[in-house]
Structure 1
Amino acid sequence: MNGSWLLRGRDGSLSTYASRDEAVWCRAEHQPGLPWTPPRKVGGDQRLHPQLGLGQGADGYAHLVAWRPTAPGESGLVHSTHFRPHLSALDWTPIGHPDKKGDRTGLPAVAVDAEGRAHVFTRNKAGGVSMLAQKEHGGWGPWRDIGGPGAHEELAAVAGGSGRVELYATTSDGILRWRQEEPGGALVPDEALEVAVRPGTLTALPTSKEHTTLFFADPEGMLHAWRPGGDPLPLLRTAGAGPVAALRCAVDGYDCTLLAQRSDSGRVVLAACPTEQESAGLWWSESGPQLPVGTRVALAEDAEGRVTAASLTPDGELGVARQKDEPGLALAAWQSV
């Protein structure tokens, strides 16, 4: 899965998305703070491969992209929009293949710009990156090869604080970055970072109108933060495998960045620091029960502005913990929903 799978919709309701059993499943609060719906399929009954990209715009709409089989040994990408968490999403719509036809080429990534247009990215057959973007008045533009030879499969796409789309990819030589120079414009290569990085550990978070902070792990397991124009800053050792979940939130009136991950011990761990002031120091704090290998962790703010952490096991069991109504960042007991 690429992108945060825990989202707050336009009406304030939280929703979760998971790829399982050849479909994408959604659960959502009936209304903010009310019980959750049972899992239901997104986009109809099309058979899907277990790879999902998610993005959300400032309008609260969720955009989902997945691969579906089209012929023996071939696949194509499909897109769906979910306007309200407790309502049905649009049916899956074919959006093609970066090489016109062929099998799956990489895990899709999605970012939504300030105008609500989805941008889809995936690796192509040549080993670079291709993108597809929605047009201003509906429909999709053509697939474009934006370069990046040697890109690894997992990409990190995000709309920065200005609403312009950015993309990050890892290679054997470091990290590549693309950005929009103007709203709705093509993505162009930007500053690259020569660094040893563990593939599949990128998390991009807008941390101000000017900056996106990229979190990544090196091969030795040290977590770093990088803002283009500066040097990467080592933070603390990762607690487990895969990327961290990241959230910019307010804690006691202070602008903070919160990180979360499933640790190798099986529990969720969290760390926080003032936003863009990682040098102040971070340390992991454990929370919740033991969770099986493969459990994903996500962060969001609910309709009341409370930090909400969620865990999703490989068999679809959802756990949720919300910030206590007291100073600080303590979470209440985890609940199975």
Structure 2
Amino acid sequence: MNGEWFIRGRDGRLSVYIPSGDALLCRAERHPGGPWEAPRRVGGGQKLLPGPAVGQGADGYAHLVSWRPTVPGESGLVHSTHFRPHLAALDWVPVGHPSKKGDRTGMPAVAVDAEGRAHVFVRNLGGGVSMVAQKATGGWDPWRDLKGDGVREDLAAVTGESGRVELYAAAPVGILHWRQEEPGAQPVLDEVVEVPVRPGTLRALATSPDSTTLFYTDGSGDLCAWRPGGKPVALLPAAGPGPASAVRCTLGGHDCTLLAQRSADGRVAFAAYPTEQESSGAWWTESGPRLPAGARVAVAEDAEGRVVAASLTEDGELRLARQKDEPGLALAAWRTV
């Protein structure tokens, strides 16, 4: 999935979204910190194509976007809102195609603004980025072409603490950044930084009232951090080939950014540093059993502010490790749920 598939809902329950064949499944805690329910299909019986996306608003609601087949050789995007993990998500609603019709053009990304409106981004047939957003009064605005050239399939959408939506994309020229200049406005291409980027490694996080930070792996294999207006900083060698999950949390009384990534030998690797202080340095610490190729890793905070790490294999096996009640990032033993 594109986006953080492991989230805490408005009611404090942790939940995960699991692509499974032509469906998207959800599993959630029965109550915060409690046992987990069996997987349930999201959005009704429509058949979906691979590569769904998830975004979460400040209200805790999850917004889900996916391609679905329409007629032979063509696809369209659909959207669903999941208000609380223990309730059924809304049925999938069509939101169209960036070029009006055609086949799948790339993996979508979704961010949710301060008013709870979803903004859906996807590469278009021209190699740029298109966007469609929910109206404040219901329904959807027309598709908008945000420009760009040679954009790769993977996009990273994020909402800043200001409530304004931003988008990062990788292209042959480097990393492109779009941002809303004011709430509700169309995002504009704000900056391009010329750096080599490994495909499929973008992850963005709100890190201060005025900034978001993009994490990516560069051409030499370093995990880097970039905030528009500054220069990219190499944090440490990437632990593995995929994207890093990132969450802000309190460790030892300090505002920290915690990164998690499946390492090259299959274990879960963690690194933490004071938020936006990349010069402090970071290093990986591995945890848990070895995971098969294709497994995904994520981190979140539970209702009590404890870090919870999750791993999900391609066959749907979910494992969790929760932070112990002691200083630092000490995790209890991993368990299958």
Aligned amino acid, residue 185 of structure 1: A
User: Using the alignment, how far apart are the partners of 2:334 and 2:138 within structure 1?
Assistant: 42
The Cα offsets for residues 157-204 of structure 1, whole Å up to 9 and x where unpaired, read as: 000111100000000110000000010111111011011111211111
Residue-pair matches, total: 337
Aligned amino acid, residue 327 of structure 1: P
Aligned to 2:97: 97
Quote how far apart the aligned CAs of 1:104 are: 0.2
1:196-207 → structure 2 map (5 Å cutoff): 196-207=196-207
> How far apart are the structure 1 equivalents of 2:239 and 2:5?
20
| Residue equivalent to 1:290 | 290
Q: CA deviation at 1:264?
A: 1.1
How far did 1:220 drift? 1.7
Match of residue 174 from structure 2: 174
Query: In 1, Cα distance between the equivalents of 2:48 and 2:228?
Result: 36
Q: Which amino acid aligns with 1:21?
A: G
Counterpart of 2:193 in structure 1 is 193
Structure-1 separation of matches of 2:123 and 2:211: 25
State the shift of 1:56 in Å. Answer: 0.2
Residue equivalent to 1:5: 5
1:242 is matched by which residue type in structure 2? G
One-letter code of the match for 1:225?
A
Q: Which residue in the other structure is 1:156 paired with?
A: 156
Q: Give, in whole Å, the separation in 1 of the partners of 2:111 and 2:124.
A: 18
Alignment map for 1:212-251 (pairs within 5 Å) = 212-251=212-251
Q: Which residue of 2 aligns with 1:68?
A: 68
* 1:272 counterpart letter in structure 2: A
1:50 shift after superposition: 1.2
SS in 2 for 1:293: coil
Percent identity of the aligned residues? 70
Which digits, 9 at most, give the CA deviation of each residue in 1:213-251, with x for residues without a partner? 111111221111111111111111001111100001111
2:126 paired residue number: 126
Matched ranges for 1:3-82 at <5 A = 3-82=3-82
Amino acid at match of 2:125: K
Partners in 2 of 1:159 and 1:115 — Cα distance? 11
For 1:84 and 1:100, how far apart are their aligned partners in 2?
A: 32
CA distance in 1, matches of 2:68, 2:224: 35
Amino acid of the structure 1 residue aligned with 2:274 = P
Match of 1:208 in 2: 208
TM superposition outliers: structure 1 runs of 4+ over 4 Å: none
Determine the C-alpha separation between the residues in 2 that align with 1:59 and 1:307. 20
Aligned to 1:299: 299
Match of 2:334 in 1: 334
Please report how far the alpha carbon of residue 252 of structure 1 lies from its aligned counterpart in structure 2 after TM superposition.
2.1
TM-score, with length taken from structure 2: 0.99
Distance in 2 of aligned mates of 1:299 and 1:138: 32
Q: CA deviation at 1:57?
A: 0.2
Matched, 1:258 2:258: yes
For residue 239 of structure 2, give the secondary structure of its aligned residue in structure 1: coil
Partner SS, residue 104 of structure 1: coil
Question: Considering only aligned residues, what root-mean-square deviation do their CA atoms show, in Å?
Answer: 0.6
> Where do 5+ consecutive residues of structure 2 fail to align?
none
Partner of 1:87: 87
**Letter aligned with residue 122 of structure 2:** T
Alpha-carbon distance in 2 for matches of 1:224, 1:62 = 28
- Tell me the amino acid that sits aligned with residue 100 of structure 2: K
Please tell me the residue identity of whatever aligns with 1:283.
W
Distance 1:241 1:20 in 2: 22
Letter in 2 for 1:54: V
Distance, in Å, in 1 between the alignment partners of 2:224 and 2:193 is 12
